[in-house]
Structure 1
Amino acid sequence: MEIIKSVKYLTINPKNVNVETSPSYILSKEQLNFYQENGFLIINGLIDFESLYNFKKRFIHIAKGVVDKGQITIVSEPALVAMGATGEDVINKLQNIENDDIFSTYIEDPRLLDVVSQLIDSDSVVAFHSMLINKPPGTGRHPPHQDLYYLPIRPADKIVAAWTAIDDVNKENGCLFVIPKSHKKHSLVAHSKTSGSNKLYYGIMDESLAPEAECVNLVMSTGDTVLFHPLLLHGSGPNISKNYRKAITCHYASGQCHYVPVEGTVQEPVAREIEAEARKKNFHIDFVDFWRYKNRLVRGVKSNL
């Protein structure tokens, strides 16, 4: 249990930056070592309150139909739909937010990109999947999974997810949980569909790989950001509170990464489902092209993706 104590206290406050110049955040050797060893790192207050307020306001406007959602996909929570909930009370998340004028400021935030580029050790950074997660009261558990399961991108060490709390998050409203060091213990493992949940919600088939005794709940305040490795086993608990639990997230990869075929691997089920969902929207593309279509270079001048 020693790791849990160290996790609790290794949450680093960002250095002050001059807002009139390009922000710069340099990770310490301790931070880099902690990420490499444990597969995640929390930075306190990385994203400012004004930005988070604007993200929340934008979400509410989209939920109420006040503004055009554009290319954003609205994902509802099936259990709450069945109960007759509507509007903000039923929206689980907004996907594909990278081209929205407001949400894109998170994806392109220089402070965040400073951190990302150091964790993946690359001057070229590609953003390829983004969401604003609402998690209304009554939303269920998201079982332990590995984000790499959804991605035909390699190498894994050149990929990182950023997840920022818009609201305070705790165990009652369904904070993230992680299994420290699991990115080193396990390669990509088999996943299966989660019964009764949203489309494309997969969890590891063998949950003994994520024993409860090793789970660390990431209690975070508004503006805190966790960055984690795509092989890290993680999930989130149910929201049993009376409040929403909003967060904004984006996955990044080095422009030096490449695509790999997934036919005949544990990833084939999710690849086929993603292709089927794309066809429903008249996009006849394969798994790799789906991700190639979504990615966008946000730092640097060249990308292989």
Structure 2
Amino acid sequence: MTITPARAELSSLAAQYDEQGFVLVKGLLSKEEAAYYRGRSHDLLAQLNREDDPTWQSAMGLADGATRLQHLHDAQFYDAEFAKLLVDPRFTDVAAAVMQVENVQLHHTKLFVKPPENGSPFPLHQDYPFFPHQYHRVGAAIFHFDDAPVEKGCVRVIPGSHKSGPREHDPEGSFHLTDVPFDDATPQPAEAGDVLFFTYLTVHGSGVNVSDQPRTTWLVQYRDPSDPPTVKTHEWSLGQGMMLRGVDPTGRSNV
């Protein structure tokens, strides 16, 4: 098991996050841990046998043909190993540091597997319009359970895009951005065990998996419990309001 980042490293990560809107933390999990979670992810999806495909309709313009995607909301309610990872200090200490807060609260999680050869892309977007909050102290962490090079459809970001605040999205196209070319985004290739942290105002997306291997990731959306939502969304997400680090000084829980 790798160790929690030291205070000086956390400060450096927070500075990059503040300037760029994201930071890729290398080796937050060991290769062995990442492989373990990759196996549990694929076993869980096979066990539950979910047939729904969350591919955005607006993703079709980024691929030559039909694509597909496997996913599962709130894996921690199906497998306790994911619940352990949610409160792992290696993760929660970085989440607190980059948001510059003491307390970290869960919003929701999503497990994604991009199948080989035609794993679905995500058009460029902000997470903001899906669950807006008053002070924008909301972030995401993408755990990479296997390698995610460019050909696997790794995450892409627009550095510094969070500084412009909320942007107008196209609600007819799954809230994608219509005025930012996909090629303007910078690929963030990652290795198994790396975790990408970014604010929900950072413009991001991902490409098609054209490789011969799946890409397995776990997305954790978290927030400062003192930052109230301006619209009630994701109320069906299991565990919303769970404290991952510290305490909730408001007593609001999942509202």
Aligned residue number for residue 243 of structure 2: 297
Task: Give the whole-Å Cα distance in 2 for the aligned partners of 1:149 and 1:53.
Answer: 33
Distance change >3 Å, CA 136–CA 202, structure 1 → 2: farther
Note the alpha carbon deviations across 1:260-289, whole angstroms, 9 max, x for none.
14xxxxxxxxxxxxxxxxxxxxxxxx6374
Aligned residue number for residue 198 of structure 1: none
**Contact conserved, 1:93 with 1:132, CA < 8 A, in 2?**
yes
Aligned residue number for residue 202 of structure 1: 175
Aligned residue number for residue 74 of structure 2: 96
- Give the TM-score of the pair, scaled to structure 1: 0.70
- Give the TM-score of the pair, scaled to structure 2: 0.82
Q: What do you get for the CA RMSD once the two structures are aligned?
A: 2.8
Name which of 55, 62, 69 aligns with 2:44: 62
Note the alpha carbon deviations across 1:152-201, whole angstroms, 9 max, x for none.
32311x2111112111111111000000111112423223344xxxxxx4
**Contact conserved, 2:144 with 2:217, CA < 8 A, in 1?**
yes
Shift in Å, 1:294:
2.5
**Contact conserved, 2:73 with 2:237, CA < 8 A, in 1?**
no
Aligned residue number for residue 13 of structure 2: 31
Task: Give the whole-Å Cα distance in 2 for the aligned partners of 1:211 and 1:91.
Answer: 19
Alignment of 1:117-136 (within 5 A): 117-136=96-115
Note the alpha carbon deviations across 1:35-66, whole angstroms, 9 max, x for none.
1111000111001233322322222222332x
Alignment of 1:46-195 (within 5 A): 46-65=28-47, 69=48, 75-76=52-53, 92-99=70-77, 100-137=79-116, 138-156=118-136, 158-194=137-173
Distance change >3 Å, CA 44–CA 235, structure 1 → 2: same
Task: Give the whole-Å Cα distance in 2 for the aligned partners of 1:127 and 1:177.
Answer: 24
Shift in Å, 1:105:
2.1
Note the alpha carbon deviations across 1:218-271, whole angstroms, 9 max, x for none.
01111111100111110000111111001112011112111214xxxxxxxxxx
Letter in 1 for 2:146: D
Distance change >3 Å, CA 303–CA 95, structure 1 → 2: farther
User: Partner of 1:203: helix, strand, or coil?
Assistant: coil
User: Partner of 1:55: helix, strand, or coil?
Assistant: helix
Aligned residue number for residue 280 of structure 1: none
Task: Give the whole-Å Cα distance in 2 for the aligned partners of 1:295 and 1:24.
Answer: 25
**Contact conserved, 1:176 with 1:234, CA < 8 A, in 2?**
yes
Task: Give the whole-Å Cα distance in 2 for the aligned partners of 1:76 and 1:90.
Answer: 7
Task: Give the whole-Å Cα distance in 2 for the aligned partners of 1:154 and 1:98.
Answer: 27
**Contact conserved, 2:148 with 2:191, CA < 8 A, in 1?**
yes
Distance change >3 Å, CA 291–CA 78, structure 1 → 2: closer
Task: Give the whole-Å Cα distance in 1 for the aligned partners of 2:55 and 2:216.
Answer: 18
% identity of equivalent residues:
23
Task: Give the whole-Å Cα distance in 1 for the aligned partners of 2:43 and 2:11.
Answer: 42
**Contact conserved, 2:20 with 2:160, CA < 8 A, in 1?**
yes
**Contact conserved, 1:25 with 1:111, CA < 8 A, in 2?**
no
**Contact conserved, 2:152 with 2:211, CA < 8 A, in 1?**
yes
Work out the number of aligned pairs and report it. 238
Structure of higher RCO (CA pairs closer than 8 Å, 6+ residues apart) = 2
Q: Which structure: larger Rg?
A: 1
Shift in Å, 1:117:
0.7
Task: Give the whole-Å Cα distance in 2 for the aligned partners of 1:227 and 1:141.
Answer: 19
Distance change >3 Å, CA 224–CA 74, structure 1 → 2: farther
Name which of 226, 245, 248 aligns with 1:256: 226
**Contact conserved, 2:145 with 2:216, CA < 8 A, in 1?**
yes
